Structure formats: structure tokens, C-alpha cells
């Protein structure tokens, strides 16, 4: 199955759908990545904070050694964690991710969150004393640009940034961010942020595109929201096109102009999630999907909501 690509603001190609890997580790992760590559995925999204970079790298190298893909065929994204934002730490953090992945370069390196912390453990309460507000977004971005100059990454971008923060980056950027990776699904369709970024040549990558109904309650990052796949409007449209509800949601996000990165460990569902480029939702169906928006965010990270750079305290 062939995945279409879009062209980024620097002329490089970006697969129009990818595989998310948060909360997937160990041998299961190894098989997930291999299966994903076998069915046609050509983008894998990971992060230092996911603790699975090494497994992602091993799975990719396995498929390269089998001759299924070449290194240039697979687009690998990883991310700078919130405790590595001091300028002296950013390049070493990127090198550490490359070491974990066993790669000479990544295709995309993102600032995972705009906020900076001195320390962070999921099992501990975050307090104001943990906040690091000594480094600016502009200083972080300049070091991200250096990662490109050093050949550590082909592209750089941001994640969980609001419009105001992107504007600050663009004012000083010598290399523009190619993407802003944010939570995006029919309950939080991000249409204003999508349009804002589009006007500036920045692609929205949609994480949690199916609203992640399986995410645990009381997680330090997340809150429980409804299961989008149970919505009658989604089911009715799925029946109309002879597709699954998940395929309808993903197609909706593609037509909004985003690049979704659904997570799945089931080979059948992985293949289904990829098979969304043989139909187009009508304008009426797009409006019906639009009507599901209620600005419901599952990924809130409220533990840091008083941080100077917390991104979800404004409209978009």
C-alpha cells in the first residue's frame, strides 16, 4: 500500500500518515513497527520521553537489512524532552536520541513541549520549583537550527505550540519549523490553528487523531473524553462509504490538511488506518464531522498549567 506525500516548506517530502508509538514498548513495539512497515507505513513517530527509541531503531534496521526498505524510504521523527531545554543540553539530547535509534540522522526533530522543567517524573507531583523559565523559546529554536547544520536532523519543528509561540519562533527563525504536532481529532478539530499554520507554510501533524479513548484516567498528561468511534454521525458516514469509523475520522483529518499519526498495535487496524486515500468525504459529510467539535482536549498536562509557557491557556 503506497502512502501519498506532501511537500514541506523546505521542499522535502512528508508522508501523509504515520504511526504513533506513545505508550508502546518492548517486544510488542518491535513487532508493531515491523508490521507497520510491511503494510506500507513510511513514517514512525517516537520521542525520547516514550522510552522506545532503541526498539524503534532496531525494528527499522531489521527491515532495512531484510531489503524491505532503504533508510531514505522511512521517515523517523523524535523529540526533545522538557528537561533538556537548556542550550547546552539540546544538541547532546539530539545525539542521545540518535544513539538510541542507532541512526546517523533523524528526518524530523521536534521540541516536544514549549515548557521547560528542571526535572520531571511521572510518579511525582510537579511544583513551581520544578519550572525552568530561564531559557526562552527563541534560544531553544536557535539550538534546534544548529542540529540541522550539524546534520543530526533533516527537518525541525515544534509540538504542542500555540499560535503566539509559533509567531515568536518565526520572528527569529533562519530555518522555519516544518510542522506543529498537536492533539487533533473531531472533538478538537483545531481548524483555527490549522489555518494559522497553513498561512505560514507549517503543516499540522495530528496526534491522538482518534481521541485516544484507551488512554488511562488520572494520567499526569491526559483526561478521559468520549470515544469518537461510537458517535452516530461517524458510524453513519462510515456505512455510507463502506469504511470503518476510524477510517472516516482519519480521512476527515487528512481533508482538513493535517497529517495524522494514529497508534495501533493490531495489524488489521494498522492496514485499515492506512487505507484512506481511495475515497473523499463530501462537503456535507465534512460539515457533519465539523459539528462534532467541542474543543475537548484529552492531553492537558495540567500539572504545568501555571508555567509561563503553558500552551493551552488561549484559544489556539
Segments forming the whole domain that contains residue 25:
5-304
**114 is a domain residue:** yes
**316 is a domain residue:** no
At residue 60, the pLDDT reads: 96
**313 is a domain residue:** no
Number of domains within the chain: 1
**312 is a domain residue:** no
**15 is a domain residue:** yes
At residue 218, the pLDDT reads: 52
At residue 265, the pLDDT reads: 87
Catalytic residue among 50, 109, 207, 252: 50
Please indicate whether residue 207 is annotated as part of the active site: no
Q: Give pLDDT tens digits for 131-185.
A: 999 999 999 999 999 999 999 999 999 999 999 999 999 999 999 999 999 999 9
DSSP for 104-137, please give it: S-EEEEEES-S--BS---TTS---GGGB--SS-H
**244 is a domain residue:** yes
Of 114, 111, 154, 121, residue with least CA distance to 51: 121
**311 is a domain residue:** no
At residue 225, the pLDDT reads: 79
**177 is a domain residue:** yes
At residue 65, the pLDDT reads: 96
Q: Which residue has the cell 524530523?
A: 108
Query: What is d(CA 53, CA 211) in angstroms, rounded to the nearest whole number?
Result: 24
Strands (DSSP E) contained in the chain are 5-7, 13-15, 19-20, 43-45, 75-80, 106-111, 153-159, 179-183, 203-207, 259-260
This prediction's pTM:
0.95
Look up the CATH number of the domain holding residue 212: 3.20.20.100
Amino acid at each position: 500500500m503506497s502512502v501519498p506525500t506532501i511537500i514541506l516548506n523546505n521542499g522535502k517530502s512528508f508522508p501523509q500518515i504515520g504511526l504513533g508509538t506513545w505508550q508502546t514498548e518492548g517486544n510488542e513495539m518491535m513487532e508493531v513497527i515491523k508490521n507497520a512497515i510491511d503494510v506500507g507505513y513510511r513514517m514512525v513517530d517516537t520521542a525520547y520521553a516514550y522510552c522506545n527509541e532503541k526498539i524503534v531503531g532496531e525494528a527499522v534496521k531489521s527491515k532495512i537489512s531484510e531489503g524491505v526498505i532503504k533508510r531514505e524510504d522511512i521517515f523517523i521523527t523524535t523529540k526533545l524532552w522538557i528537561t533538556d531545554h537548556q542550550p547546552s543540553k539540546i544538541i547532546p539530547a539530539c545525539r542521545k536520541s540518535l544513539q538510541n535509534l542507532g541512526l546517523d540522522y533523524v528526518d524530523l526533530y521536534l521540541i516536544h513541549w514549549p515548557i521547560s522543567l528542571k526535572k520531571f517524573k511521572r510518579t511525582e507531583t510537579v511544583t513551581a520549583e520544578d519550572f525552568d523559565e530561564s531559557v526562552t523559546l527563541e534560544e531553544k529554536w536557535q539550538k534546534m537550527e544548529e542540529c540541522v547544520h550539524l546534520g543530526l536532523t533533516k527537518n525541525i519543528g515544534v509540538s504542542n505550540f500555540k499560535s503566539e509561540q509559533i509567531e515568536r519562533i518565526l520572528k527569529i527563525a533562519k530555518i522555519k519549523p516544518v510542522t506543529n504536532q498537536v492533539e487533533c481529532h473531531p472533538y478538537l478539530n483545531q481548524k483555527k490553528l490549522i489555518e494559522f499554520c497553513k498561512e505560514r507554510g507549517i503543516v499540522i501533524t495530528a496526534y491522538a487523531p482518534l481521541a485516544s479513548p484507551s488512554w488511562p484516567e488520572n494520567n499526569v498528561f491526559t483526561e478521559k473524553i468520549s470515544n469518537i468511534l461510537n458517535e452516530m454521525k461517524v458510524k453513519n458516514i462510515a456505512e455510507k462509504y463502506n469504511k470503518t469509523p476510524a477510517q472516516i475520522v482519519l480521512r476527515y483529518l487528512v481533508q482538513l490538511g493535517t497529517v495524522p499519526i494514529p497508534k495501533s498495535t493490531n495489524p488489521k487496524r494498522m492496514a485499515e488506518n492506512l487505507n484512506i486515500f481511495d475515497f473523499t468525504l463530501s462537503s456535507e459529510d465534512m460539515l457533519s464531522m465539523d459539528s462534532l467539535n467541542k474543543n475537548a482536549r484529552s492531553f492537558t498536562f495540567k500539572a504545568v498549567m501555571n508555567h509561563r509557557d503553558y500552551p493551552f491557556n488561549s484559544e489556539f
